[in-house]
DNA sequence: CTCCTTGATGTTGAATCCAATACAGCAACA
DNA sequence: TGTTGCTGTATTGGATTCAACATCAAGGAG
């Protein structure tokens, strides 16, 4: 979401749900960094509300894993350790292939074309932010057709918690690694087109696993973060 | 948690976290049924607090999947459809074996003995509530040693969302099905003792899958709920 | 010089009060 | 008779106000 879009929304009606949404976007966008303290008063002022709905928004984002609350003390943007990050990736490795399986039968030709186009765009871009956006759109886009309730939310949450670490990690990708990533994206589209759920699951699990192992080999990623 | 324990806690200091905890326990204990409306004023009175911390507790439980909030309208105890329930079980089938794998290397002899004892107790009991309590203690107990943060919470949440359905489903188990469940529990302890992660994963996944398929064969479970 | 106590200050947490919204019941009309 | 519009009431949502707690700095005792 762009900053202009955020500002637009501020003008409209107030609600803790709105604040949660905007604050989530702001955190994912990198406006607040992991470990940074969130003062109720500041956030309230920023969104033109009182502290009560802000506290409710904090509770929502806490459950999303984006904010860490400590009673009588304060709120911080969540900060994952290397092991926690690894844990999230291991979980994603198990869960996302299942979600893709749910989505598979509902992905039509046009949808697959769109995914392929995203993969191609990703290959052409140089910007890190652009890459992150496209990658997110590609993967979450491939799950979009799934008619699930809990599972979809769960996966989105896992993505959100690692957003900052994806950004830092992307900076460390060498040419070879990048090439493999792109190859896997195209293979994934192929399996999706063929409607081969087992194959798609295998490729996706491998894709996530590769990222996880890459992350484990580059613990310095965590030094790039504040 | 017993009702007495709940009442004890009411007397102590107030906080939205405390209310969330007590309300969670009350819902899981069956005091509030799926689909039942939760009025802020009622809950506030019950726990001797004002509506503000209750609203925060609602937000927490919403993220837990126990409460469903509709803006400007109200809060209800979450009610899962058959497909949603199936979805949760499919997710558990993927995720819990991973958590068990995390726990496995930290389970010592004494811990395994305790699990075996729980499995044996479960075999001896006739009461549904007792069975549910022991089953929960057995499985979550087997994960207890895992030094995880997100994954453990995630699994606990999945268990919570299906608590009412587990209760209803247990009532429908015939003698044969019950026997298979007990067998699998003992096989699981065996694999845990042997430290065989692959085998333990396989058994646990099958165990959860069997329950899921049983649930799918007995859609009348959902008629037992209000 | 170090460690503990003690107060000042800022921040969080909760209660009360007020506004806005949804809902039920009733009435008027086609 | 069924539908639509209106009004009163119950309930939720948010702002303000006040209390409780944590943090930090300064000062005093060992």
Domain CATH number, residue B33:
1.10.10.10
| Beta carbons within 8 Å of B199's beta carbon, 6+ residues apart | B191
pLDDT computed for residue B8 by the predictor: 39
* Residue B208 CA: distances (Å) to CA of A102, A180, B87, B182, B184: 18, 35, 12, 13, 10
Q: Kindly determine whether the C-beta of residue B12 is less than 7 Å away from any atom of nucleic acid strand D.
A: no
Domain end, chosen from B50, B77, B104, is at B77
Residue A3 has pLDDT above 70, yes or no: no
- Chain A 39-58 contacts with nucleic strand D (CB below 7 A): 48-53, 56
Give chain B's domain count. 2
Question: Using the CA of B52, which nucleotide's C1' is the nearest one?
Answer: C14
Do both A216 and A117 map to the same domain?
Answer: yes
CA separation for the pair A65, A84 (Å, rounded): 12
Do both B109 and B190 map to the same domain?
Answer: yes
- The more confidently predicted of residues B172 and B21 is B21
pLDDT computed for residue B192 by the predictor: 98
Q: Kindly determine whether the C-beta of residue B68 is less than 7 Å away from any atom of nucleic acid strand D.
A: no
* Residue A12 CA: distances (Å) to CA of A15, A18, A48, B184: 10, 9, 10, 56
Contacts of A98 in chain B (CB under 8 A): 90-91, 94
Domain end, chosen from B77, B93, B119, is at B77
Residue B160 has pLDDT above 90, yes or no: yes
- Give residue for tokens 């022991």: B134
pLDDT computed for residue B28 by the predictor: 95
Averaged confidence pLDDT in chain A: 92
Which run of H or of E encompasses A114?
helix A109-124
Q: By the 8 A CB rule, do B139 and B133 touch? A: no
Do both A122 and A93 map to the same domain?
Answer: yes
> Do residue A56 and residue B60 have CB atoms under 8 angstroms apart?
no
| pLDDT (average), residues A146-157 | 96
Do both B101 and B213 map to the same domain?
Answer: yes
Joined together, the tokens standing for residue B226 give: 């209000």
Do both A105 and A183 map to the same domain?
Answer: yes
Classify each residue of A89-102 as buried b or exposed e, where b means 16 or more C-beta atoms within 10 Å of its C-beta.
bbbbbbbbbbbbbb
At residue A76, the 3 state secondary structure works out as: strand
| Beta carbons within 8 Å of A71's beta carbon, 6+ residues apart | B15, B17
CA separation for the pair A144, B63 (Å, rounded): 21
Domain end, chosen from B77, B102, B133, is at B77
Do both A194 and A128 map to the same domain?
Answer: yes
CA separation for the pair A224, B51 (Å, rounded): 43
pLDDT computed for residue A8 by the predictor: 40
- The domain of A20 spans 3-77
- The more confidently predicted of residues B7 and A174 is A174
ipTM of the complex: 0.90
Q: By the 8 A CB rule, do A119 and A182 touch? A: yes
Q: Does B152 touch chain A (CB under 8 A)?
A: no
Residue A36 has pLDDT above 90, yes or no: yes
pLDDT computed for residue B184 by the predictor: 98
Contacts of A209 in chain B (CB under 8 A): none
Joined together, the tokens standing for residue B30 give: 């069956």
Do both B145 and B53 map to the same domain?
Answer: no
Kindly report which listed range (A118-122, A124-128, A221-225) carries the lowest average pLDDT score: A221-225
Joined together, the tokens standing for residue B68 give: 């469903």
Q: By the 8 A CB rule, do B158 and B91 touch? A: yes
CA separation for the pair A116, A193 (Å, rounded): 10
Do both B113 and B164 map to the same domain?
Answer: yes
- With a pLDDT cut of 70, the percent of chain A lying above it is 92
Q: Kindly determine whether the C-beta of residue B40 is less than 7 Å away from any atom of nucleic acid strand D.
A: yes
Do both A134 and A186 map to the same domain?
Answer: yes
Could you write out the DSSP letters of every residue in chain B? --HHHHHHHHHS---HHHHHHHHHHHHHTTSS-TT-EE-HHHHHHHTT--HHHHHHHHHHHHHHTSEEEETTTEEEE----HHHHHHHHHHHHHHHHHHHHHHGGG--HHHHHHHHHHHHHHHH---HHHHHHHHHHHHHHHHTT---SHHHHHHHHHHHHTHHHHHHHHTT--HHHHHHHHHHHHHHHHHHHHT-HHHHHHHHHHHHHHHHHHHHH-GGGGGS--
Could you write out the DSSP letters of every residue in A51-63? HHHHHHHHHHHHH
B91-120, pLDDT tens digit by residue?
999 999 999 999 999 999 999 999 999 999
A4-34, pLDDT tens digit by residue?
333 344 444 568 999 999 999 999 999 999 9
- CATH number, domain of A188, equals 1.20.120.530
Residue A2 has pLDDT above 80, yes or no: no
Give, as one character, the DSSP assignment of residue A68.
E
Averaged confidence pLDDT in chain B: 92
pLDDT computed for residue B171 by the predictor: 87
- Give chain D positions with protein CB within 7 A: 11-17, 21-23
Do both B104 and B202 map to the same domain?
Answer: yes
Predicted confidence band of residue B158 (pLDDT cuts 50, 70, 90):
very high
A81-121, pLDDT tens digit by residue?
999 999 999 999 999 999 999 999 999 999 999 999 999 99
> Do residue A150 and residue B90 have CB atoms under 8 angstroms apart?
no
- Pairs across A and B, CB distance < 8 A: 68
Do both A40 and A91 map to the same domain?
Answer: no
What is the nearest CA distance from A150 to chain B, expressed in angstroms? 7
Joined together, the tokens standing for residue B55 give: 């609203």
pLDDT computed for residue B56 by the predictor: 97
Do both A133 and A160 map to the same domain?
Answer: yes
pLDDT computed for residue A11 by the predictor: 42
């Amino acid at each position: 979401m762009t900053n202009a879009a955020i500002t637009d929304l501020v003008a409209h009606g107030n609600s803790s749900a709105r604040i949660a949404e905007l604050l989530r976007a702001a955190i994912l966008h990198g406006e607040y960094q992991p470990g940074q303290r969130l003062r109720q008063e500041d956030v309230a002022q920023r969104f033109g509300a009182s502290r009560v709905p802000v506290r409710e928004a904090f509770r929502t984002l806490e459950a999303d894993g984006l904010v860490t609350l400590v009673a009588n003390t304060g709120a911080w943007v969540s900060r994952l350790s290397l092991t926690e990050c690894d844990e999230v990736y291991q979980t994603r490795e198990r869960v996302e292939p299942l979600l893709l399986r749910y989505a598979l039968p509902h992905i039509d030709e046009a949808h697959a074309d769109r995914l392929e186009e995203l993969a191609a765009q990703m290959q052409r871009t140089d910007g890190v932010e652009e890459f992150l956006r496209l990658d997110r759109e590609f993967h979450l886009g491939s799950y979009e057709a799934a008619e699930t309730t809990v599972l979809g939310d769960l996966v989105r949450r896992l993505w959100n918690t690692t957003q900052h670490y994806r950004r830092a990690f992307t900076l460390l990708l060498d040419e070879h690694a990048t090439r493999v990533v792109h190859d896997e994206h195209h293979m994934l589209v192929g399996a999706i087109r063929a409607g081969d759920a087992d194959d798609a699951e295998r490729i996706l699990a491998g894709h996530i696993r590769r990222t996880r192992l890459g992350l484990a080999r580059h613990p310095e990623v965590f030094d790039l973060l504040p």
